[in-house]
Structure 1
Amino acid sequence: MQKASVQLRALKHSDVSTMARLANNKKIWNNVRDAFGHPYTEKNAREFIEKQSQSDTEKVFAVDYNGELCGLVGLILQKDVYRKSAEIGYWIGEPFWGQGIATQAVGLLTRYAFDKLVLVRLYAGIFEYNVGSMRVLEKNEFVKEGISKKAVFKNGKFWDEHRGALLNEG
């Protein structure tokens, strides 16, 4: 199987319609924080891109697969005594699922975080039912640190959050 050509790049205003089309999917919203919004509109995409262009605490990139926007990956840089850590987040549009794109994108973002930002620790919280996302982290050598019982309230139910982390030991 040929490996996909996955690259990270800056978000552009021309990404708005594709981003909105891909993100306006309940299956994606089920696996992200409620602030993501559903339905997800072009207005949401425009506002998100504008917010990212002004943020000094979030580093978000478009994920390109063979030259086509297919999702986003990003870091939320922590502050104070946690300033060498970041939370990692990502989503890939459903038409691109199951092709190893998220795994490659998280790998690229991890290298950026460790090499360019000189971070020491990355972590992610995954809802208990999102097994695919847990596999993405495992394939990138994230280690499960624990499970926060009923820490997430999503779609009217409580869910466990699985926390994974990766240390820059290089």
Structure 2
Amino acid sequence: MTIDCGLCRLRPFQLSDADSVLKHANNRALWLNLRDRFPHPYTQADAEWWVNFASTLSPLTGFAIDIDGEAVGAIGLELHSDIERCSAEVGYWLGEQHWGKGIMSAALRAITDYGFNQFELTRIYAVPFVRNAPSVRILEKAGYQLEGLMRRSAIKDGVILDQFLYASVR
């Protein structure tokens, strides 16, 4: 399955994406705004593990962000269960050379539509660090609304941080 976003396309990861993922993911500036499960430094072994894992997801909830045949980032939904089975958290990253071009907002709009339609979700949300103004702009451009401030809710690189709660509700 491929989703055309205009500026990019979303497609399943392939084992051949490992070198491209490594090239774009091994970036401290990127890592500083992601969860700790995203490693830094990002190694060849990390890239190979990721594309192997992501290429076998079922149901398909994680996509490569593809520009001109190259995986330059990722976007995905973390589906919830039990009473929150109508909700999912969206997460994303994009190689720095592609920042500021509207690519991520287009990808976010596309995966939001996909999530609402494919999984019958009623809510998709994100929790960016307050300091991550570019991610906040991406969410707002994609139609997500600020629902709250979660004070002192995360720790990254030894620093306690606030997070915003943004959501798109069907």
What is the TM-score of this pair, normalised by structure 1? 0.92
Farther off after superposition, 98-107 or 50-59: 50-59
Farther off after superposition, 136-145 or 57-66: 57-66
**1:64-87 superposed Cα distances (whole Å, 9 cap, x missing partner):** 124332210000000100011100
CA distance in 2, matches of 1:35, 1:141: 27
Partner of 1:73: 75
SS at match of 2:49: helix
Partner of 1:94: 96
CA distance in 1, matches of 2:98, 2:57: 28
Partner of 1:110: 112
Instruction: Pick from 134, 137, 143 the counterpart of residue 136 of structure 2.
Output: 134
Partner of 1:120: 122
Partner of 2:42: 40
Q: Cα–Cα, structure 1 residues 105 and 58, in superposed 2: closer, same or farther, change >3 Å?
A: same
In structure 1, list runs of 5 or more residues that go unmatched: none
Confirm or deny: 8 A CA contact 1:58 1:76 kept in the other structure: no
In the alignment, residue 104 of structure 2 is paired with which amino acid?
A: A
SS at match of 2:37: helix
Aligned residues: 166
In the TM superposition, residue 54 of structure 1 has moved relative to its aligned partner by 4.2
In structure 2, list runs of 5 or more residues that go unmatched: none
In the alignment, residue 54 of structure 2 is paired with which amino acid?
A: Q
Partner of 1:25: 27
CA distance in 2, matches of 1:64, 1:36: 19
What is the TM-score of this pair, normalised by structure 2? 0.92
Confirm or deny: 8 A CA contact 1:4 1:66 kept in the other structure: no
In the alignment, residue 95 of structure 2 is paired with which amino acid?
A: G
Farther off after superposition, 139-148 or 46-55: 46-55
Partner of 1:6: 8
Question: What RMSD, in angstroms, separates the aligned Cα atoms of the two structures?
Answer: 1.6
- Identical counterparts, % of pairs: 37
**1:97-155 superposed Cα distances (whole Å, 9 cap, x missing partner):** 11000000001101110112221100000011100000111011111111111111111
Confirm or deny: 8 A CA contact 2:14 2:51 kept in the other structure: yes
Partner of 1:163: 165
Partner of 2:84: 82
Confirm or deny: 8 A CA contact 1:148 1:162 kept in the other structure: yes
In the TM superposition, residue 5 of structure 1 has moved relative to its aligned partner by 2.6
Partner of 1:50: 52
Confirm or deny: 8 A CA contact 1:5 1:66 kept in the other structure: no
